[in-house]
Amino acid sequence: MVSTFGERLHGAMRERGALCVGIDPHASLLQQWGLPDDASGVERFSRTVVEALAGEVAVLKPQSAFFERHGSRGIAVLERVIAEARSAGALVLMDAKRGDIGSTVQAYADAYLNPSSPLCSDAVTASPYLGFESLRPLIDTALAHGNGVFVLARTSNPEGSEVQNAHGPDGRSVADTVLDHVRAANAGAAPMGSIGCVFGATLDAEGVDLRINGPLLAPGVGAQGASVGDLAEVFGPAIPLVLPSVSRSILGAGPDPADLQKAARSINDEVSKLSI
């Protein structure tokens, strides 16, 4: 029987700590590492991160856009990164933020969540702003194959509030509605559900019920201004299921793999000391 993503993630967080490291080979980091801004530079950058961290952290999160910008060669690199990271024991969360309707969202599901695809990952990020049920093919495909989906609820970028904090006729905010849908999708799952939410670590969560019985991806730690210490205050009783996402604060320590490991271990140690 195939294990669920929730089961695998719960085990990885207990064994390796609750840290997600982004793989974001954007132009400035490639330059900082002394690498060319082309597919070969992206490959050296990304595979160095995988070599250093895939055996260390619970989750690696490649940002699809930074591979896509280099066309088919970049996508080929992404396929190798996924395979090598998973082979080394890390869970792979594809940061693609896909969202559409009907056969198109099913095609995204087939690309990122069906094991027959070379882009298949353990989970994918998704945008619910065509309506939560528009993501049903993505969610159903994920669950059928033991994979997961992280749905955007409240993101760490300031522009997101104009949509995510808007209120509907029932008085609920858009973000609260998303959280309610995810809570329902995870009902009865143990040790936790496979459908998560993205909720920024830089945000004020006062009055928001973040207990969704699933993982909470928390971007914003480090370069965006949040500290590890802020997480307990933001997430409160939901902190055991929080997966802080850190990119530049770790990637900037490269290109030496030992320095990447040192940076990741330092943050992971901080996260492990959180309690509520």
Over residues 130-154, the mean pLDDT reads 97
User: Residue 190 domain-assigned?
Assistant: yes
Q: Which residues contact 247 (CB under 8 A, 6 or more apart)?
A: 21, 22, 23, 24, 61, 63, 222, 223
Distance from C-alpha of 235 to C-alpha of 159, rounded to nearest angstrom: 21
User: Residue 170 domain-assigned?
Assistant: yes
User: Residue 78 domain-assigned?
Assistant: yes
The pLDDT value recorded for residue 275 is 58
User: Residue 276 domain-assigned?
Assistant: no
The pLDDT value recorded for residue 257 is 97
The pLDDT value recorded for residue 254 is 97
User: Residue 274 domain-assigned?
Assistant: no
Which helix (H) or strand (E) element contains residue 10? Answer: helix 5-16
Over residues 231-237, the mean pLDDT reads 91
Count of helix runs (H) and strand runs (E) in the chain: 12, 8
Q: What angle do CA 203, 269, 275 make, to 5 degrees?
A: 55
Query: What range does the domain containing 235 cover?
Result: 5-268
The pLDDT value recorded for residue 220 is 85
- pTM, two decimals, is 0.96
Three-state DSSP class for residue 54: coil
Give 246's DSSP letter.
Answer: E
Residue length of the chain? 276
* pLDDT category of residue 276 using cuts at 50, 70 and 90: very low
* pLDDT category of residue 197 using cuts at 50, 70 and 90: very high
Dihedral sign for Cα atoms in the order 186, 188, 194, 198: positive
Helices of type H across 17-92: 27-32, 39-53, 64-68, 71-87
Residue 184 has pLDDT above 90, yes or no: yes
What's the pLDDT tens digit per position in 5-51? 999 999 999 999 999 999 999 999 999 999 999 999 999 999 999 99
Count of domains forming the chain: 1
Over residues 120-132, the mean pLDDT reads 97
Distance from C-alpha of 60 to C-alpha of 53, rounded to nearest angstrom: 8
What's the pLDDT tens digit per position in 107-117? 999 999 999 99
- We report the CATH number of the domain holding residue 260 as 3.20.20.70
The pLDDT value recorded for residue 36 is 98
Residue 224 has pLDDT above 90, yes or no: no
Give 131's DSSP letter.
Answer: -
- Angle at which helix 39-53 crosses helix 257-272, to 10 degrees, equals 50
Mean pLDDT of the chain: 95
Q: Pick the catalytic residue: 61, 97, 262, 273?
A: 97
Phi-psi region of 131 (alpha: psi -120 to 50; beta: other; left: phi over 0): left
Name the more confident of 223 and 40.
40
Phi and psi of 59, rounded to 5°?
A: -135, 135
Q: Which residue has the tokens 């954007």?
A: 26
Lowest mean pLDDT among 17-21, 186-190, 217-221: 217-221
Closest CA to 47 of 65, 33, 58, 28: 33
Over residues 222-232, the mean pLDDT reads 81
User: Residue 98 domain-assigned?
Assistant: yes
Beta bridge partner(s), residue 92: 60
Q: Encoding tokens for residue 138?
A: 């993505």
User: Residue 273 domain-assigned?
Assistant: no
Known active-site residue 97: yes
* pLDDT category of residue 189 using cuts at 50, 70 and 90: very high
Dihedral sign for Cα atoms in the order 170, 184, 13, 42: negative
User: Residue 118 domain-assigned?
Assistant: yes
CA 252 to chain centre: 19
